[in-house]
Structure 1
Amino acid sequence: MTGDDGGLLSALRLADSFLPVGSYTISYGLETFVAEDRVEDGDDLRELLADYLRGQVGPCDMVALSVAHRAAREDDMERLGRVDDHLHATLLLSESRESSLTSGRRLLDVVEGEHAFVDRYAGTVGDSARGHHPTAMGVVTAANGISEREARLVFGYAFVTGLLGAAQRLLRLGHTEIQVILHDLFPVIEEVEREYGKNGLAELRSTVPLIDVEGMRHERAERRLFVS
C-alpha cells in the first residue's frame, strides 16, 4: 500500500464485514442469550454488547492486539508467540478459542503476499505461534501503517458490527435500529480503547462470567445457527 491514505484505506478494509474472516458465523454466545430470552430487544442488546466491550474486548483482545502491534514494529517474533499463548490460556471456551484461531488464520490468508513480516508471522503459525485473531490483527495493522490506537478502534468497531449482524438474524431488529445501537456504542469503544490501550501482556484478562456460561451452554446446544 502506498500513498498518504494507505493506512486509512487499510483500516476501512479491516473493519469491513466484507472481509472474509468468518465473522458472520460467530455470535460469541449471543445466540444462547436470545434463545433463553435474556436478550429480547435493542436495549438488551446494547447493554450486552457494552458488557462484551468492557469485560472481554478491552481488557483481553485490545491488549493482545496492542502488544502484537508493538512486537511487529520491533520485529519481535518470539513475543508474538507469547501473545498467542496468553490469549489461548485466557479464552475459557473451546468455541471462542477455535473461532479466534479460525478468524486469525483466515485474515493471514487474505493478506498473504502483501507484507513480508506478516508472511513471516504466518509461517510460524502451527509451530511457535497459534495465529489468534487479535494477534494477527496487531501484526497486519502494524504492517499497514495503522497506529495502535486506530488498530484498537478498528478491532472494536469490527467486533460490534459482527455481533450486530448476528443480532439481525436472531432478533427482529431493523437496519435503522441497528445503526442507532452502533452509534450509541461508539463512546464505549473509545472508553475501553483509552482504558486498556497501554496495558502489557501481564495485564491481559477477561471478566465476563455470565457470557462464558452462556457460551458453554451454546457449546452443548443441539441446534445452533452460529459456531459460537
Structure 2
Amino acid sequence: MELKKYISKFLLNRKKTFSEKDYFLSTEISKITGCEVQNINLYREAFSLKTSCKEHQLRNYERLEFLGDSVLGAIISCQLFSTYPHANEGYLTQMKSKIVNRKNLNKLGNELNLTKFLQNESPSTLSENISGNLFEALIGALYLDVDYETCKNVVIERLLTPSEINKLENKIVSYKGLLLEWSQKKKVTIKYVTCEELQPSKQLVFRTYVYFNEEKISNATETSKKKAEEKAAQRAFYILNKKKCIIEKSKNPA
C-alpha cells in the first residue's frame, strides 16, 4: 500500500511539472518505448514540423531524423550480422534495405500513429513520408535521451522485433531493382522508356514502357516517373516470372 501511495504521489508531482501537452507526450512515448522520458525537449523537437514563420523558428524533427536514420541503420546492421552468420554481404544489404526503406518505416510510423504527437499545427496535407520521418526522429530522440544499448533493446524488442524482420525476408521492395539484378545475372537487357501523357481530365501523367530484349512487355501510368517505372516493372516481373522463373522457390542466403 505504501508503494502504491508513493507511485501515485510521484505521478501526480510529475504531472504538475509538465504541461498537459507535455504530460500526454511523455506518457505516450513511455508506453511505446518502455522507458521513462528524461528530457521532454528532445521529443518536442522530434515531433515539431518545419515552419516558415520567423517568429516561431523552433527546432524541427529533421536533425533528429538524420541522427535516427544512422542509429537505426547501425542497430539493424548489427542485428542482421548476428542473425544471419553465413549470409553474404549482398544478402545482408538487401535485408537491411527492406527493413529501413521508406515504405516500411512509413508503415511502422503509421502503426504507432506518430502524427498524433505533432507539436505545432500541421498543414492540411502532410508529406506522404511524414510517418517514417517521425519514426526516425523518435529513434534519434530516444538515443540521446537514454543510451545506445537501451535504444537498441527498444528497437529490437518492441519496434522491429526478429519476427517482424523475418516477415520481410521474402518481401520484394523494388521490382525495378529485382529486374535489374536478374537481368545482369542472366545477361539480358531490360529497358525503360518513359513519356509524358495528358489525360482527358487535363492531368499530366507519366507512362513507362518496359522492354525485354527489345520486346515491349508491359506499361503503366502514374503521377510521377519513379512510380510509373516501379508499377511497370512490377507488371513486367509477373509476366517474366511465369516464363523465366526469376525468383527460385528455395533461396539460400549464403
**Bigger relative contact order (CA 8 A; separation at least 6):** 1
The structure with more strand, counted as a fraction of residues: 2
Question: More helix per residue: 1 or 2?
Answer: 1
